[in-house]
Amino acid sequence: MQNYYQKEIETASPEQIRAWQDERLVKTVHHVWDNVEFYRKRMEEAGVTPNDIQGVKDLHKLPFITKDDLRECYPYGLLATDLNNCVRIHSTSGTTGKRVVAFYTQNDIDLWDDCCARAIVAAGGTEEDVVQVCYGYGLFTGGAGLDGGSHKMGALTLPMSSGNTDRQLMFMTDLGATILCCTPSYASYLAECVVERGLKDQIKLKSGIFGAEAWTEEMRHDIEDKLGIKAFDIYGLTEISGPGVAFECSEQTGMHINEDHFIAEIINPVTGEVLPDGEKGELVFTSITKEAFPLLRYRTRDIAVLTRKKCSCGRTHVKMSKPMGRSDDMLIVKGVNVFPSQIEMVLLNNGLTSNYQIIVDRKGHTDSIEIRVEMSPDFFTDKLSELTAKEKDIVSDLKSVLGIYAVVRIVEPKSIERSEGKAIRVIDRRNLYQN
């Protein structure tokens, strides 16, 4: 039996969904035109007025917005309502200097909670469930999103936040948690602990909702086996709201995008051309129900495929694949966004060159990041103490810029592999993306 949180919406006809999208898109375009100077300017530059946008068919006329735009507009540049109407702020993880902050009105929060509630119900959640949320609470959207969704659909919420595995396992067993929400790597770690400590027959988990980082089918099966649950994927990003932009259903073959709130497009990341359903490209979202922080055609940099095949769960909203990679060079390490350019800046500031390589690996369940950089004449000294002190400075600069610890290895000149004369920047040994 299928359960839905909002059946009429989740199983609405494609025509109905399109009608909602047409109406809400037009409204949102007028809303930003009237309230956000940035959008007005961008649209004028593109020669578009709100009257040119009559529905989804005209969406392609609007200019894209990127993460750089969001950084430039920090903090209030994209706010589309009076700050007094806002009740919450969230922020993205680990970026250089200016972070991206997103604003929410109470209505924005309510609709976001609905999206997460749909995800929990799709994972088999009911009012009788105990939902253990071990995403971080705070500026990160993970904790707040699933917490809100769990409240909304009426389950008993265990607001654990991240870390403290002993306490997680104690409450999981003592309070009989039935649905686990966290990052897949943490789920995998918890699963390992459950097996090691022989707790499997003491836990009551039936399903898990795991997102905020890439994970493989292999990892899914491993977690499912070890915990005896069904593991569901969830997708979202702070810029668009947070987790719950899309979620997996019982079919486990992709994530339904909440199309009554978000319009998804797939574009060619190089040309910006909109691609038909079924083609692989960069995922672009337009939020059409947000009051405080609506984004028109936001480029996620995630590479994915959209499919509209009929789903056995009865939901009619379009499905997106797991992200298959990035159209920029961003890495997600330990759940934190890492750009090679940030690393390069630290190295150059410390007297090294841009001949470096980032090696990301996952040992057990923990991501590690190592930066190999070639020694430069400017950096070199014959004093070992000075060299090790300089090396430590780099490690601490990286920690403050990236927010995570990185191992630094200084290597001999010309020892980093080159491709067409340029050092190969990133080696990701985690094999996170399946194609």
Partner 1 sequence: MTIKQVSVFAENRSGGILDVIQALGSAQVDIRALSVADTQGFGILRLIVDNVDRAKAVLTENGTIFSITDVVGVKVPDCPGGLAQVLTLMADHEINVEYLYAFVSVSGSSAYVVLRVQDNDEAIRILTEGGIELVTEDEIQAL
Exactly one of 47, 276, 364, 377 binds partner 1 (CB under 8 A); which one?
A: 377
Interaction of residue 415 with partner 1, rule CB under 8 A? yes
Interaction of residue 435 with partner 1, rule CB under 8 A? no
Interaction of residue 410 with partner 1, rule CB under 8 A? yes
Give SS3 for 225.
helix
CB of 395 to partner 1, least distance (A): 12
Kindly tell me which of 412 and 417 has the beta carbon lying closer to partner 1.
412
Give SS3 for 27.
helix
The CA-based angle 396-401-404, given to 5 degrees, is 70
Interaction of residue 418 with partner 1, rule CB under 8 A? no
CB of 360 to partner 1, least distance (A): 19
What are the tokens at 149? 């969704």
Q: Which of 431, 144, 142, 101 has the alpha carbon at shortest distance from 293?
A: 101
Binding segment for partner 1 (CB under 8 A), chosen from 87-95, 107-115, 225-233, 385-393, is: 385-393
What is the distance, to the nearest Å, from the Cα of residue 424 to the centroid of all Cα atoms in its chain? 26
Q: How many whole angstroms separate alpha carbon 357 and alpha carbon 354?
A: 9
Q: How many whole angstroms separate alpha carbon 130 and alpha carbon 157?
A: 6
Kindly tell me which of 375 and 423 has the beta carbon lying closer to partner 1.
375
**DSSP H or E segment with residue 16:** helix 14-35
Total of residues contacting partner 1 (CB under 8 A): 19
CB of 325 to partner 1, least distance (A): 31
Interaction of residue 431 with partner 1, rule CB under 8 A? no
Exactly one of 128, 201, 382, 417 binds partner 1 (CB under 8 A); which one?
A: 382
Exactly one of 385, 400, 419, 435 binds partner 1 (CB under 8 A); which one?
A: 385
Exactly one of 412, 419, 420, 435 binds partner 1 (CB under 8 A); which one?
A: 412
Interaction of residue 381 with partner 1, rule CB under 8 A? yes
CB of 388 to partner 1, least distance (A): 6
Kindly tell me which of 301 and 390 has the beta carbon lying closer to partner 1.
390
Q: How many CB atoms lie within 10 A of CB 295?
A: 26
Helices (H), 239-330: none
Exactly one of 411, 416, 423, 426 binds partner 1 (CB under 8 A); which one?
A: 411
Binding segment for partner 1 (CB under 8 A), chosen from 97-105, 182-190, 228-236, 381-389, is: 381-389
DSSP string for residues in 155-215: PEEEE--S--HHHHHHHHHHTT--EEEE-HHHHHHHHHHHHHTT-GGG----EEEEESS--
**DSSP H or E segment with residue 298:** strand 298-304
CB of 412 to partner 1, least distance (A): 5
CB of 396 to partner 1, least distance (A): 17
What is the distance, to the nearest Å, from the Cα of residue 2 to the centroid of all Cα atoms in its chain? 27
Q: Which of 299, 348, 306, 345 has the alpha carbon at shortest distance from 326?
A: 299
Kindly tell me which of 193 and 411 has the beta carbon lying closer to partner 1.
411
Exposed, middle or buried: residue 395 (CB in 10 Å: 0-12, 13-18, 19+)?
A: middle
Q: How many whole angstroms separate alpha carbon 359 and alpha carbon 109?
A: 38
Exactly one of 197, 413, 429, 434 binds partner 1 (CB under 8 A); which one?
A: 413
Kindly tell me which of 139 and 387 has the beta carbon lying closer to partner 1.
387
Interaction of residue 396 with partner 1, rule CB under 8 A? no
Kindly tell me which of 214 and 394 has the beta carbon lying closer to partner 1.
394
Helices (H), 213-291: 217-227
Site residues, partner 1 (CB under 8 A): 375-377, 380-385, 387-388, 391, 409-415
